[in-house]
């Protein structure tokens, strides 16, 4: 398999790119890495100015990245900008280069990663202002940016996998940032271990790709695998196997069922970390990868079905848990899980553009929501339990306003961004015949609106349950934190209008459509059509009604304040309590996360502990026992045989006599001389 | 004149056979006493008897020179030397204690085995000539052999004896200068 | 019987075995030396017997036997001198009590 030559398979591009593009792409990678190195080395001594290298570096990276994005989306790179930085592994048949590529998909991801990343960095200057370890924080954040950018820029499986692991490392470091806290340390370990489980499948998938086609470069693999399937060189089940193995990695990294258990615990990290890594960028790596590998997935209907099923199941599972959680960040974490489930469902039905669109929109408004929650937590002095908040809309005006924008966006209320992307997913699901996915998706939309406005109600509206000692000093966050919030609220509100219109032939379709042409052909999708007064219109109306109904129900139960007026809806805790009682079993199940953590503990920790104890016993008793016994036998034998050395000549003489007897007698008797 | 009958009257053996049996039995018996004797002086004396029996056997084999040499050298010199040494190394505790080691049983078995082995080998081998005509030796033949063919070994043995004598004297004499009561 | 080589050789073998037993079993050093003399004499007897029954060997046998006797004498001399010297230090003729060089 390794003897295939690929020189003529893929045309070398980069002849059409403007000069300096490659240098700019490299800058995008190198500046965060340098920021990490410098901040790690001298950051501690900079004290309050620990961000002095990290943040400006990221702002500069953002600027350069925007130039690259503009060039890519305006077509200056042709199909894509691909280039090799250096030869990484020249080992005979295994030849891997440090390949980078920028096409439209990468460009979209670059927008999300660099913009949200930059705003989180700026926000962190204010958020971490009182933390003595902030130099570490900025160093890790920069390292994370480097890793994530490498991930989206990588043009071969191995480089992507290396970046994949690096983001996992940064996630570990940042979740456990407050390492002295036991819960944080445990959460970071849990994240890393659960990710590792997914990465095992991922690595196996990469090895399967290598043994099947002998190369790991994306363009070559995506041409050769379909060609081999078509020519019969590989069986369909092999392709499905490769796709499912690769999907394992996405399941782990994007926290889909059953590897979803690490994301809620990852909220132990500082809020900017949750915003950046666990909402806007790292968890999207799985979605990005499946989208990138669409030629492989689209050829295997089994794999697509698995992806869609796991995605939509995760969506409803997470939404059901978010209904009852009391920690503000947990609600947002489960919300992230749920929205990621949407994205995978979209990928599974073949709605690639919709999935990436949702990824983009979600990156912005979830980042916004997390930073907002950070601002709230900061204001009430690190209190995260929503039951001890309330009535904050008066004291935190900017935070409240931006969070309202984010909540409306995620609930899918037009004309905000979430509506466009979510509706497109549901639309495609229905039109491709997956009506059950559509139905579950609508239910999830209702639940999403409900729990988001439950969160809003408990946090901002109704009477204040804030700790009386803290209440007087609750104040809005400083501008360094609120300005990024406002800046994030803008795309959350307008992104849909900018790139999601016109329906059916949107701007983002024109960007990303060509990338997924091959997949569309494999799946038999025709040209996207849109009939506003036909199926599509009905679907839009249904999804809007679903969102509004969830929203209204939450408002009635948990309160609301109409902006720019004095009208309020009072929360009704009695009604809530009554319904909670009536649905007690469901409530308990939801509150306890459907006991998945306990199940994992039982299977892997306890039962695994038993297995481990058995292995330990085997190792100590049998393996070590054997080795020790050999040693003991040898030394014992030595000790016993030493007794022959009596030091008495007559004993030795007796030995000689006996030896003589044996040798002579044996020779004579058995040698046939007698 | 009294002449001996050709064979012993009742048994039909020749006189040589009877002599051989007596000498052999005496030899083995005295060797047994040497080896098993409690009192070492008795062992030494039984050794002398054994040497005497051997001299007789040499004579029976037609080597009178050797018989004489046996008596002179072994009985006259070596046995006397042994008896002197026994006298000089008597310890008070003497015969009351153990005569044999713990390994005596194993040694007995080994000796038994060796004896058996030798007997079997001797019996199983067809010696080239055993017709019994034991021609006696003459001193002249022995002397010519000794001084013609074996003169080098003779001289070397002479030197060896000189060395042994000097060594023995040196080893056994008292050191006046370093004599002390206590053991080192 | 006395005109068979076998008888003398068997006698020699038995005498040698006895001597070997005594050498390995006795505790007194001088007793060991006496047993060595027995073994040497057994060998001498075998040599002389061969000489008697194999005429070509007769003279050589006698000479060799004489030389063996001389060597035995020399060996007895030196051995006994050593035993006496050791006795002066150790005050015992029993070989298993000569333990200075053992561990």
User: What secondary structure does DSSP assign to A469-500, as a single string?
Assistant: TTGGG--PPPHHHHHHHHHHHHHHHHHHHHHS
Return the percentage of chain A with pLDDT > 70, whole number.
95
- Mean per-residue pLDDT over chain A, rounded: 86
For residues A148 and A131, give the distance between their C-alpha atoms in angstroms, rounded to a whole number. 25
**Spatial CB neighbours of B27, under 8 Å, sequence gap ≥ 6:** B50, B53, B54, B57, C11, C15
Q: Which pair of tokens denotes residue B88?
A: 């000089």
Let me know the angle formed at the C-alpha of C66 by C63 and C72, rounded to the nearest 5 degrees.
140
Which of C13, C41, C48 has its CB closest to that of B119?
A: C13
Q: Is B15 within a domain?
A: yes
| pLDDT of res. B180 | 53
* Number of cross-chain residue pairs from B and C with Cβ atoms under 8 Å apart: 265
Stretch A494-505: mean pLDDT: 76
To the nearest whole Å, the CA of A650 is away from the closest chain C CA by 6
pLDDT, greater one: B140 or B118: B118
Q: Which of A397, A580, A592 is nearest to A476 (CA)?
A: A397
Domain contains B118: no
Find chain B residues with C-beta within 8 A of C14's C-beta: 28, 115, 118-119
Query: Does C5-102 carry CATH code 1.10.287.3510?
Result: yes
Instruction: Give B117's contacts in chain A (Cβ within 8 Å).
Output: 661, 664-665, 668
Q: pTM, whole model, 2 decimals?
A: 0.69
Interface of B with C in 62-121 (CB under 8 A): 62-63, 65-66, 69-70, 73-74, 77-78, 81-82, 84-86, 88-89, 91, 97-101, 103-104, 106-108, 110-112, 114-115, 118-119
Whether the Cβ atoms of residue C81 and residue B163 lie closer than 8 Å to each other? no
Mutate to test the interface with B, among C16, C27, C66, C96 (most CBs of B within 10 A): C66
Alpha-carbon gap, residue A126 to A122, rounded angstroms: 7
Can you give the pLDDT at residue C23? 94
Among A116, A62, A123, A60, smallest CA distance to A483 is for A123
Instruction: Answer yes or no: do A665 and B110 touch at CB < 8 A.
Output: no
Cis peptide before A514 (omega within 30 of 0): no
Q: Judge whether residue A144 has pLDDT over 90.
A: yes
Chain C residues with CB under 8 Å of B165 CB are: 74, 77
CA distance to partner chain B, nearest, from residue C103 (Å): 17
C-alpha A299: how far from its chain's center? 24
Q: Which pLDDT score is estimated for A572? A: 79
Between A646 and A330, the more confident residue is: A330
pLDDT tens digits along A415-470: 888 888 888 888 888 888 788 889 999 999 999 999 999 998 888 887 888 878 87
Closest C-chain CA to A657: C20
Q: Write the burial class of residue A487 (CB in 10 Å: 0-12 exposed, 13-18 middle, 19+ buried).
A: middle
d(CA B132, CA B119): 20
Interface of A with C (CB under 8 A): 646-650, 653-654, 657
Mean pLDDT of B3-22: 78
Q: Would the pLDDT of B96 be above 60?
A: no
CATH code of the domain in which B30 resides: 1.20.120.1200
Q: Establish if B124 belongs to a structural domain.
A: no
Domain boundaries, chain C: 5-102
Q: Which of A650, A654, A657 sits opposite C95 (nearest CB)?
A: A650
pLDDT category of residue A530 using cuts at 50, 70 and 90: low
Q: Which of B24, B88, B103 sits opposite C24 (nearest CB)?
A: B103
- Assigned domain for B23 exists: yes
Whether B11 shows a pLDDT value over 60: the answer reads: yes
Interface test with B, best of C3, C7, C33, C34 (most B CBs within 10 A): C34
**Residue A499: which pLDDT band, with cuts at 50, 70 and 90?**
confident
User: Which residues in B lie closer than 8 A to residue A651 (C-beta atoms)?
Assistant: 103
Q: What is the mean pLDDT of residues A352-357?
A: 90
Nearest-CA distance C98 → chain B (Å): 12
A316 within 8 A of A256, measured Cβ to Cβ: no
Chain B residues lying within 8 Å of A673, measured CB to CB: 124
pLDDT digits (tens, 9 = 90+) for A238-288: 889 999 999 999 999 998 988 888 998 899 889 999 998 877 788 899 999
Three-state DSSP class for residue A281: coil
Name the burial class of residue A577, with classes exposed (0-12), middle (13-18) and buried (19+) by CB atoms within 10 angstroms of its CB.
exposed
Check CB contact of C97 with chain B, cutoff 8 Å: no
Task: Tell me how close the Cα of A649 comes to any Cα of chain B, in angstroms.
Answer: 12
How many distinct structural domains can be found in chain B?
A: 1
Closest Cβ–Cβ partner in A648, A649, A657 for C20: A657
What subunits touch chain C, counting only 3 or more CB pairs under 8 A? Answer: A, B
CB contact under 8 A, B82 and C80: yes
Residues of C in contact with B162 (CB under 8 A): none
* Selected residues 32-91 of chain C with any CB under 8 Å from a CB in chain B: 33-35, 37-38, 41, 44-45, 48-49, 51-55, 58-60, 62-67, 69-78, 80-85, 87-91
Distance from CA of B9 to the nearest CA of C (A): 17
The predicted-structure confidence for A7-44, as pLDDT tens digits, reads as follows 333 444 445 667 788 888 999 999 999 999 999 998 88
Task: Show the tokens assigned to A274.
Answer: 């949750």
CA dihedral A408, A411, A412, A415 (to 10 degrees): -10
Q: Do B113 and A651 touch (CB under 8 A)?
A: no
CB A195 within 8 A of CB A266: no
Q: Which domain holds residue B32?
A: 1-91
- When CB atoms are compared, the residue of A660, A661, A674 closest to B120 is A674
Asked if the bond preceding A415 is cis, omega within 30° of 0, the reply is yes
* Residue A577 confidence (pLDDT): 81
Following DSSP, what letter does each residue of A379-431 receive, concatenated? Answer: HTTS--BGGG---TTTT-HHHHHHHHHHHHHHHT-TTSHHHHHHHHHHHHHHH
**Nearest chain A Cα to B112, which residue?**
A661
Q: Whose structure tokens read 């809007």?
A: A544
Interface check for A650 against chain B (CB to CB < 8 A): the answer is: yes
pLDDT tens figures, A63-110 = 999 999 998 888 877 778 888 888 888 888 888 889 899 988 999 999
| Chain A residues within 8 A of C24 when measuring between CB atoms | 650, 653-654, 657
Query: Do the domain assignments include residue B10?
Result: yes
Nearest CA in chain A to C27: A650
Which of A409-418, A432-441, B145-154 has maximum average pLDDT?
B145-154
DSSP A191-247: HHHHHHHHHHHHHHHHHHHHHHHS--BHHHHHHHHHHHHHHTSS-HHHHHHHHHHHH
- Residue pairs between chains A and B whose CB atoms are closer than 8 Å: 28
Q: Average pLDDT in the A625-651 region? A: 89
> Residue A157 has what pLDDT?
93
CB contact under 8 A, C62 and B130: no
Determine the distance in angstroms separating the CA of B121 from the nearest CA of chain A, rounded to an integer. 7
Look at residue B3 and tell me if it is in a domain.
Answer: yes
Q: How confident is the model at residue A517 (pLDDT cuts 50, 70, 90)?
A: confident
Place A318 in a pLDDT band, splitting at 50, 70 and 90. very high
Residues from chain C that touch B111, judged by Cβ atoms under 8 A, are 17-18, 20-21, 24
Residue contact A647–C99, C-beta within 8 A: yes
CA distance A36 to B59: 113
Q: How far apart are CA A461 and CA A555, in angstroms?
A: 10
Contact C3 B132 (CB under 8 A): yes
CA distances from A411 to A340, A421, A456, A482 (A): 14, 11, 12, 23
Sign of CA dihedral A627, A632, A637, A639: positive
Per-residue pLDDT of chain C (103 residues; tens, 9 = 90+): 777 888 999 999 999 999 999 999 998 899 999 999 999 999 999 999 998 888 888 889 999 999 999 999 999 999 999 999 989 888 888 887 777 776 5
Reported as a single tens digit per residue, the pLDDT across A223-236 is: 888 888 888 888 88
Contact C58 B114 (CB under 8 A): no
CA distance C99 to chain B (A): 13
- Tell me the pLDDT tens digit for each residue of A578-587: 888 888 888 8
Contact A335, A323 (CB under 8 A): no
Percent share of chain A, pLDDT over 90:
38
Supply the pLDDT for residue A298.
87
From chain C, the residues in CB contact with A658 under 8 A are none
Rounded to a whole number, what is the distance in Å from the CA of C59 to chain A's nearest CA? 30
Q: What is the ipTM of this complex?
A: 0.91
Residue A203 has pLDDT above 90, yes or no: yes
């Amino acid at each position: 398999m390794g003897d295939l030559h690929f020189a003529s398979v893929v045309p070398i591009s980069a002849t059409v790119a403007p000069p300096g593009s490659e240098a700019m792409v490299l800058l995008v990678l190198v500046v965060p890495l340098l920021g990490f190195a410098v901040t790690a080395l001298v950051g501690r001594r900079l004290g309050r100015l620990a961000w002095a290298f990290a943040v400006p570096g990221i702002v500069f990276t953002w600027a350069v990245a925007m130039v690259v994005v503009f060039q890519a989306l305006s077509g200056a790179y042709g199909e894509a900008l691909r280039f090799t930085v250096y030869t990484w592994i020249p080992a005979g048949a295994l030849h891997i280069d440090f390949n980078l590529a920028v096409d439209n998909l990468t460009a979209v991801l670059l927008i999300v990663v660099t913009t949200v990343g930059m705003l989180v960095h700026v926000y962190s200057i204010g958020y971490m202002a009182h933390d003595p370890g902030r130099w570490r924080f900025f160093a890790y954040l920069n390292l994370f940016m480097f890793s994530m950018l490498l991930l989206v820029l990588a043009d071969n499986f191995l480089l992507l996998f290396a970046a994949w692991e690096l983001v996992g490392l940064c996630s570990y470091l940042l979740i456990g940032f407050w390492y002295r806290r036991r819960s944080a340390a445990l959460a970071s370990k849990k994240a890393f271990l659960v990710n590792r489980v997914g990465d095992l499948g991922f690595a196996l998938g990469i090895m399967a790709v290598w043994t099947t086609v002998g190369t790991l470069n994306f363009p070559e693999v995506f041409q050769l695998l379909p060609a081999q399937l078509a020519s019969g060189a590989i069986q369909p089940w092999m392709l499905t196997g490769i796709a499912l193995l690769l999907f394992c990695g996405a399941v782990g990294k994007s926290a889909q069922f059953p590897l979803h258990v690490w994301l809620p615990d990852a909220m132990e990290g500082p809020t900017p970390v949750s915003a950046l890594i666990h909402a806007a960028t790292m968890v999207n790596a799985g979605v990005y990868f499946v989208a990138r590998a669409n030629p492989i997935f689209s050829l295997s209907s089994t794999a697509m079905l698995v992806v869609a099923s796991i995605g939509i199941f995760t969506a409803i599972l997470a939404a059901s848990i978010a209904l009852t959680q009391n920690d503000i960040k947990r609600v947002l974490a489960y919300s992230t899980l749920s929205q990621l489930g949407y994205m995978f469902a979209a990928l599974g039905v073949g709605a690639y553009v919709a999935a990436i669109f949702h990824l983009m929109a979600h990156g912005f408004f979830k980042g916004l929501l997390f930073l907002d929650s950070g601002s709230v937590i900061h204001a009430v002095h690190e209190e995260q339990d929503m039951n001890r908040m309330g009535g904050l809309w008066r004291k935190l005006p900017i935070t409240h306003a931006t969070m309202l924008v984010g909540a409306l966006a995620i609930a899918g209320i037009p004309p905000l961004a979430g509506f466009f992307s979510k509706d497109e997913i549901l639309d495609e699901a229905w039109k491709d015949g997956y009506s059950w996915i559509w139905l579950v998706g609508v239910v999830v939309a209702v639940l999403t609106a409900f729990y988001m406005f439950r969160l809003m109600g408990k946090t901002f509206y109704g009477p204040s349950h804030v700790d009386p000692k803290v209440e007087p000093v609750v104040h809005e966050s400083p501008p360094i934190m609120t300005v990024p919030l406002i800046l994030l609220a803008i795309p959350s509100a307008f992104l849909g209008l900018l790139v999601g219109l016109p329906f059916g032939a949107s701007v983002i379709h024109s960007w990303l459509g060509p990338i997924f042409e091959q997949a569309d052909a494999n799946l038999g999708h025709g040209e996207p059509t849109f009939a506003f007064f036909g199926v599509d219109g009905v679907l839009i109306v249904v999804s809007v009604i679903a969102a509004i109904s969830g929203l209204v129900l939450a408002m009635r139960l948990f309160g609301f304040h109409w902006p720019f007026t004095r009208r309020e809806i009072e929360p009704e805790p009695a009604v809530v309590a009554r319904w909670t009682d009536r649905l007690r079993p469901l409530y308990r199940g939801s509150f306890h996360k459907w006991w998945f953590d306990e199940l994992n503990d039982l299977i892997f920790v306890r039962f695994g502990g038993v297995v481990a104890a058995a292995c330990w016993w085997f190792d100590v008793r049998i393996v070590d026992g054997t080795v020790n016994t050999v040693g003991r036998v040898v030394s014992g034998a030595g000790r016993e045989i030493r007794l022959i050395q009596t030091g008495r000549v007559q004993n030795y003489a007796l030995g000689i006599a006996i030896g003589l007897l044996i040798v002579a007698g044996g020779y004579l008797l058995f040698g046939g001389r007698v | 004149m009294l002449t001996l009958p050709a064979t012993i009257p009742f048994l039909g053996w020749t006189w040589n056979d009877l002599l051989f049996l007596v000498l052999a039995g005496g030899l083995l018996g005295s060797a047994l006493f040497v080896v098993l004797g409690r009192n070492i002086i008795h062992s030494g004396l039984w050794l002398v008897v054994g040497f005497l029996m051997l001299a007789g056997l040499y004579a029976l084999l037609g080597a009178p020179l050797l018989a004489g040499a046996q008596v002179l050298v072994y009985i006259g010199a070596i046995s006397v030397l042994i008896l002197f040494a026994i006298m000089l190394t008597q310890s008070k505790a003497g015969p009351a204690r153990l005569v044999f080691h713990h390994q005596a049983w194993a040694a007995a078995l080994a000796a038994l085995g060796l004896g058996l082995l030798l007997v079997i080998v001797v019996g199983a081998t067809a010696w080239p000539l055993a017709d019994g005509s034991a021609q006696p030796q003459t001193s002249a033949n022995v002397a010519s052999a000794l001084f013609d063919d074996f003169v080098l070994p003779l001289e070397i043995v002479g030197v060896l004896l000189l060395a042994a004598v000097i060594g023995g004297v040196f080893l056994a004499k008292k050191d006046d200068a370093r004599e002390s009561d206590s053991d080192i | 019987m006395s005109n068979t080589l076998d008888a003398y050789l068997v006698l020699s073998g038995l005498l040698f075995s006895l001597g070997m037993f005594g050498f390995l079993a006795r505790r007194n050093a001088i007793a060991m030396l006496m047993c060595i003399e027995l073994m040497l004499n057994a060998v001498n007897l075998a040599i002389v017997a061969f000489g008697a029954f194999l005429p070509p060997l007769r003279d050589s046998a006698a000479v060799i036997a004489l030389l063996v006797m001389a060597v035995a004498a020399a060996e007895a001399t030196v051995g006994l001198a050593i035993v006496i010297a050791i006795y002066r230090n150790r005050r015992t003729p029993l070989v298993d009590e000569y333990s200075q060089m053992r561990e």
